[in-house]
């Protein structure tokens, strides 16, 4: 991954020589995302700046990517996993200038625009169509110089972050992180996933709509365990596309262990040439972090030994985590309690991984949203409610777990890929009737457990203690003392008078605990202003409860703390 910054809608007579150094200085605020190289395109009507983290084609592929005639200029943050298939489909109609997986975006746009002048509506429909064909994680800005038109788009789930806003002169700005826009744009907002924007029309359009969003489209659709397993293995295989050292995050939970198991199967061959040659880095390395004696560190050791990975388990102290909090919040651009708790150990782990020369890791985010893995899904009253909640959580994922994984890792220039959110796999897994995902008693008489359908698909691949391990939220699994220490420190640093005045100081999503007030104060120091605060969602934490979950069990309404341990009677009963 990388970072992008774009400025469009430049007024006639605008002095680009003045805007260029401003754009460079603001792009530098997100250079941690792309420490390998910086690229700039500047003309009378547009500025594009790109900070590169070289994962595919590290010797070539520098951005912005330009078409042979210089008409198209593209800055992308992300990866396109099916780029070779799409390149083959374009035939000889586009002259590729690099080995970058992302240049196919230029080719697809060029094919769309050929011969469509005067047919704007048809062209727009075609852009949405080819965007839907991209299987990847991306946020991009494409500048069509001759037409004076920019196309801005974000991947369907929002794995890659993207923000936009306008400066005082009405110019449109886009950037990978909010920190690059906060000084210039009073109206900074999150660019919505699964959408694209056309500066020529001023229209924001949704391009990603799937039938599985409504349960009626999934009724009676069963997926055999072997098919589910094969589809996930294929997703992991696709996402191992890399020309640099990579590894896997391995907490010892079900999701990261399945990712690691699949990656270990394919690690010895090079994905980019269809497994024809030996991988440049054939040993798979796995990484875990926790407080001394944490549940995750112990489980990760078991999983790593079974899979044969070169494992690295790191410990951190409570004080080290607390010391890092201001930087963590500045990087993740959120004050959501669960997100901050979980981002801190991930941020510390990313620094360790970077020090070892690894630039990409595979991670397990998305599984709990797709398969209903959070503990409150035990209380789902029926399959309709279960399915509706999985869709709601996927829609919100870009503001929670995707944000956490991406920004915590990219703070140190490490790219996190998420195979459970691979679009081909998502089509199969979300197309499955939710009846099969419901938490139900197990045939062996053991207590009901979440994600049984996924566990059964990988029977025999992992040790039983890992395959059937109870759900632990990451902020719990790194050590229960971590959350307890954060609560205690919040109580120390936030006095009675300040907390009593919380709603007045923070009218948008007033903090309801002293810990939350503490995080909000750190956020405000880094991102003053109401607009920045409004990019962080309000309401109950996504990992704890939701309007639906509260309706399932009244106990959720009183659970201000979003730890998995707050789900009364579920966590302990299934351990």
Give pLDDT tens digits for 444-482.
Answer: 777 889 999 999 999 999 999 999 988 765 555 676 789
Residue 433 has pLDDT above 80, yes or no: yes
Measure the CA–CA gap between 303 and 311, rounded to whole angstroms. 10
What pLDDT does residue 472 have?
63
Determine the pLDDT at residue 479. 67
Whether 436 shows a pLDDT value over 50: the answer reads yes
Q: In whole angstroms, give the CA distance from residue 536 to residue 188.
A: 12
Q: Which helix (H) or strand (E) holds 442?
A: none
> From residue 441, how far is each of 474, 541, 574 by CA, in Å?
25, 28, 11
pLDDT reported for residue 477: 61
Q: Regarding beta strands 246-249 and 285-290, do their DSSP bridges make them parallel or antiparallel, or are they unpaired? A: parallel
Q: Let me know: does 340 contact 329? Beta carbons within 8 Å.
A: yes
Dihedral pair phi/psi, residue 46, rounded to 5°: -155, 150
Fold of 220-574: Rossmann fold (3.40.50)
pLDDT band at 93 (very low <50, low <70, confident <90, very high): confident
3-state secondary structure of 364: coil
CA distance 452 to 472: 15
Find the mean pLDDT for residues 246-264: 96
Please tell me the pTM assigned to this model: 0.93
pLDDT, tens digit (0-9, with 9 covering 90-100), for 297-341: 999 999 999 999 999 999 999 999 999 999 999 999 999 999 999
| CATH 3.60.20.10 is held by the domain 3-209 | yes
pLDDT tens-digit series, residues 131-180: 999 999 999 999 999 999 999 999 999 999 999 999 999 999 999 999 99
Q: List the Cα angle 419/422/427 in 5-degree steps.
A: 130
Nearest to 210 by CA among 221, 199, 218, 220: 218
Dist CA 365 CA 419 (whole Å): 8
pLDDT of residue 543: 40
- Angle at which helix 480-493 crosses helix 337-355, to 10 degrees, equals 120
pLDDT class for 272, splitting at 50, 70, 90? confident
Element (H, E) at 27: helix 16-27
Asked whether the predicted pLDDT for residue 271 surpasses 80, the reply is no
Which of 197-206, 207-216, 219-228, 263-272 is predicted with the least confidence, judged by mean pLDDT? 263-272
Query: To which residue do tokens 């420190």 refer?
Result: 489
pLDDT above 70 for 570: no
pLDDT digits (tens, 9 = 90+) for 340-390: 999 999 999 999 999 999 999 999 999 999 999 988 899 999 999 999 999
Mean pLDDT of the chain: 90
CB 487 within 8 A of CB 463: no
Residue 574: is its pLDDT beyond 60? no
Intrachain domains 3-209 and 220-574 with the same fold: no
Dihedral angle, C-alpha 132, 133, 136, 137, nearest 10 °: -20
In this model, does residue 573 exceed pLDDT 70?
Answer: no
Three-class SS state of 405:
helix
- Count other C-beta atoms under 10 Å from residue 362's C-beta: 25
Handedness of CA 362, 368, 369, 371 (dihedral sign): positive
- 122 — pLDDT class (breaks 50, 70, 90): very low
Give the number of other CB atoms < 10 A from CB of residue 147: 13
pLDDT band at 273 (very low <50, low <70, confident <90, very high): confident
How many other C-beta atoms can be found within 10 angstroms of the C-beta atom of residue 310? 11
Domain range list for the chain:
3-209, 220-574
Percent with pLDDT over 70 in the chain: 90
Q: Is 402 a catalytic residue?
A: no
Torsion sign across C-alpha atoms 210, 211, 215, 221: negative
Size (the chain), residues: 575
Q: Has residue 557 got a pLDDT over 90?
A: no
């Amino acid at each position: 991954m990388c970072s992008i910054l774009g400025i469009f809608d430049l007024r006639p007579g605008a002095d680009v020589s003045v805007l260029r150094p401003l754009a460079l200085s603001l792009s530098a605020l997100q250079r941690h995302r792309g420490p390998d190289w910086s690229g700039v395109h500047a003309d009378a009507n547009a500025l594009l700046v790109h900070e590169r983290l070289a994962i595919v084609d590290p010797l070539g592929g520098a951005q912005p990517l330009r078409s042979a005639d210089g008409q198209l200029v593209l800055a992308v943050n992300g990866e396109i996993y099916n780029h070779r298939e799409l390149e083959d489909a374009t035939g000889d109609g586009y002259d590729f200038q690099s080995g970058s997986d992302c240049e196919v975006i230029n080719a697809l746009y060029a094919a769309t625009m050929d011969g469509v002048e005067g047919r704007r509506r048809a062209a727009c429909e075609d852009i949405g169509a080819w965007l839907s064909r991209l299987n990847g994680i991306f946020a991009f800005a494409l500048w069509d110089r001759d037409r004076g038109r920019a196309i801005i788009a974000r991947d369907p789930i929002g794995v890659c972050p993207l923000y936009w806003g306008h400066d005082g002169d009405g110019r449109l700005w886009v950037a990978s992180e909010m920190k690059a826009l906060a000084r210039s744009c009073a109206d900074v907002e999150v660019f919505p996933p699964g959408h694209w924007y056309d500066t020529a029309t001023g229209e924001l359009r949704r391009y990603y709509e799937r039938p599985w969003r409504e349960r009626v489209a999934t009724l009676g659709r069963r997926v055999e365990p072997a098919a589910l397993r094969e589809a996930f293995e294929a997703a992991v295989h696709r996402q191992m596309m890399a020309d640099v050292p990579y590894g896997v995050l391995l907490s010892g939970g079900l999701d990261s262990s399945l990712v690691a198991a699949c990656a270990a199967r394919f690690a010895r061959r090079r994905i980019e040439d269809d497994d024809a040659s030996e991988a440049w880095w054939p040993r798979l390395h796995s990484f875990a972090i926790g407080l001394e004696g944490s549940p995750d560190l112990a489980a990760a050791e078991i999983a790593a030994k079974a899979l044969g990975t070169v494992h690295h388990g790191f410990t951190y102290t409570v004080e080290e985590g607390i010391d890092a909090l201001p930087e963590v919040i500045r990087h993740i651009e959120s004050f959501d309690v669960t997100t901050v708790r979980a981002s801190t150990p991930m941020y510390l782990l990313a620094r360790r991984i970077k020090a070892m020369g690894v630039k990409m890791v595979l991670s397990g985010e998305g599984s709990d949203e797709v398969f209903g893995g959070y503990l409150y899904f035990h209380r789902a009253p029926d399959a309709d409610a279960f399915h509706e909640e999985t869709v709601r959580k996927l829609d919100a994922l870009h503001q929670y777990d995707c944000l956490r994984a991406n920004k915590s890792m990219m703070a140190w220039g490490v790219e996190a890929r998420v195979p459970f959110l691979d679009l081909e796999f998502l089509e199969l897994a979300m197309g499955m009737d939710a009846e099969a995902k419901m938490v139900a008693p197990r045939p062996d008489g053991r207590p009901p457990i979440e994600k049984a359908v996924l566990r059964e698909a990988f029977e025999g691949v992992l040790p039983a203690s890992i395959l059937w391990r109870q759900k632990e939220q990451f902020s719990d699994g790194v050590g229960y003392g971590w959350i307890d220490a954060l609560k205690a420190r919040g109580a120390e640093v936030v006095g009675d008078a300040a907390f009593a005045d919380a709603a007045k100081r923070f009218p948008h999503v007033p903090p309801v605990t002293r810990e939350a007030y503490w995080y909000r104060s750190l956020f405000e120091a880094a991102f003053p202003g109401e607009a920045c605060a409004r990019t962080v969602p309000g309401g109950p934490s996504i990992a704890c409860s939701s309007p639906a979950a509260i309706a399932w069990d009244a106990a959720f309404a009183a659970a201000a703390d979003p730890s998995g341990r707050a789900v009364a009677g579920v966590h302990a009963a299934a351990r």
